[in-house]
Amino acid sequence: MTKIWKITEADLTNADNQEALLEQLEEIKIAFTYGEIIGIPTETVYGLAADARNSEAINKIFSAKGRPGDNPLIIHIHDISQLEDFTAVLDERVLSLMEAFWPGPISFILPLTGDYLSSTAVAELDSVAVRMPSHPVGRKILQHADMPLAAPSANISGKPSPTNAQHVIDDLEDRVYGVVDSESAIYGIESTVLDCTQFPYRIARPGAVTKEQLEAVLESAVDTVSSQTDKPISPGMKYKHYAPSQPLIVIEGGINNNTKLPVERTQKVGIIAPETSREFIGEDIQFISLCRDRNSYREAARNLYSALRIMDNSDVDIIFIHGFDKVPESEGLMNRIYKATGNEVIQGG
């Protein structure tokens, strides 16, 4: 039986609840100490966590997810001083970024030192991705456990990442020791990954923290790794991701009265788009409202994976999704949408 710990943000400060809370946190810590794997909330997506020093525990993560062993995990911490155990002294530029964006939705790839971390967790690389999450419950778990936790997204490899505890249970129940059931992830897409092993730094995966925000802090340019031309620096980027089982197609420019969908008469159609598109969509189409309007990028990112999961579990044969304008704030969102579609695009008309 998978254990479920219900811990909400309000529980952390509820004076009447402190004893029960401490008991839950202690139980979770002991489970990690014994090499168990547990689904935990973060502000980006839910993670599947284990003690990053324990290779046996890390192997459980890879097999529960069906994840290829050459795809390294992100190491989660609650305090910068923990980095002393496994990275060299931090460059001041990295430190300034950590101060600006941590705790929060960005991971930094740093040179790895020593053999403190399980080499399985970092896929035998000589670098390591680290993140300090801000989700209050995720953060509390990290603080109480006081150990580095390796945590990839808590989905089966190839499925959309989980943005709430139910998604984790749907994918991984009986494959994990337990799941912490807390608030949904507020960002909804995985962290920005910034490669800081060479200068200028390079964005290996776009996310909520944008290139422009990073450049403003660094006062210098940040590169982006193009998945088409560059050799992937994040091994994970080479795998197809987040895909529902039906064909998924982006409608560039969005839907209007002139939009002609390339579908057969017999196909059941699903559309994921902003609420403002609803008026152009027929009764026989399954519509999921992703966000308020075409500029609501944050809300769209927060709801994207949930929408993909609902469509995936429905009886529609083909899915279309609104393509958002290309602006800095939509980069992470559109990156995930394109990855889910495998770059299949039509023009909205």
Binding site for Mg ion (CB under 5 A): 153
- Which of the ranges 43-51, 53-61, 280-288, 336-344 carries the binding residues for ligand TXA, by CB under 6 A? 43-51
Q: How many CA atoms lie within 13 A of 297 on its CB side?
A: 20
Residue given tokens 């309000």 in the structure block: 10
Query: From the annotation, which residues make up the binding site for L-threonine?
Result: 44, 76, 131, 151, 191
Per residue in 124-152, is it b (16+ CB within 10 Å) or e — as a string? ebebbbbbbbbbbbbbbbbebbebbbbbb
Put the strands of the sheet holding 149-150 in their side by side order: 3-6, 178-181, 38-40, 47-51, 149-150, 74-76, 127-131, 106-111, 192-195, 202-205, 223-224
Q: Which of 128/273 has CB closer to ligand TXA?
A: 128
Site for ligand TXA in 48-107 (CB under 6 A): 71-74, 107
Phi, psi dihedrals of residue 138, rounded to the nearest 5°:
-60, -40
Query: From the annotation, which residues make up the binding site for ATP?
Result: 67, 71, 153, 161, 205, 242
Q: Which of 287/338 has CB closer to Mg ion?
A: 338
Least distance to ligand TXA from the beta carbon of 267, Å? 32
Site for ligand TXA in 272-331 (CB under 6 A): none
Least distance to Mg ion from the beta carbon of 230, Å? 20
DSSP string, 182-208: -PPPSS-SPPEEEE-SSSS-EEEE--S
Which helix or strand (DSSP H or E) is residue 303 part of?
Answer: helix 297-312
Q: Which of 44/153 has CB closer to Mg ion?
A: 153
Least distance to Mg ion from the beta carbon of 236, Å? 7
Binding mask 201-220 for ligand TXA (x = CB under 6 A): ---xx---------------
- In angstroms, rounded to a whole number, what is the distance separating the alpha carbons of residues 11 and 7? 6
| Contacts of residue 63, Cβ cutoff 8 Å, sequence gap at least 6 | none
- Beta-strand relationship, 345-347 and 318-323: unpaired
* Contacting residue, 11, 190, 299, 331, with ligand TXA by CB under 6 A: 190
Does the N-terminal peptide bond of residue 103 adopt cis geometry, omega within 30 degrees of 0?
yes
Residue 153 within binding range of ligand TXA, rule CB under 6 A: yes
Site for ligand TXA in 218-237 (CB under 6 A): 233-237
Does the N-terminal peptide bond of residue 136 adopt cis geometry, omega within 30 degrees of 0?
no
Q: Which of 206/323 has CB closer to ligand TXA?
A: 206
348 binds, among Mg ion, ligand TXA, none (CB under 5 to 8 A by kind): none
- In angstroms, rounded to a whole number, what is the distance separating the alpha carbons of residues 75 and 220? 27
Least distance to ligand TXA from the beta carbon of 110, Å? 8
Q: Which of 94/281 has CB closer to ligand TXA?
A: 94
DSSP string, 123-150: TT-SEEEEE----HHHHHHHHHH-S-EE
Spatial CA neighbour of 72 closest among 226, 237, 251, 227: 237
C-beta of residue 105 within 8 angstroms of C-beta of residue 161: no
129 binds, among Mg ion, ligand TXA, none (CB under 5 to 8 A by kind): ligand TXA
Output DSSP code: residue 87. Answer: B
* Contacting residue, 193, 273, 311, 340, with ligand TXA by CB under 6 A: 193
Binding mask 1-30 for ligand TXA (x = CB under 6 A): ------------------------------
Least distance to Mg ion from the beta carbon of 177, Å? 20
Least distance to ligand TXA from the beta carbon of 250, Å? 22
Which residues contact ligand TXA by CB under 6 A?
42, 44-45, 47, 71-74, 107, 109, 122, 125, 127-129, 131, 151-153, 190-191, 193, 204-205, 233-237
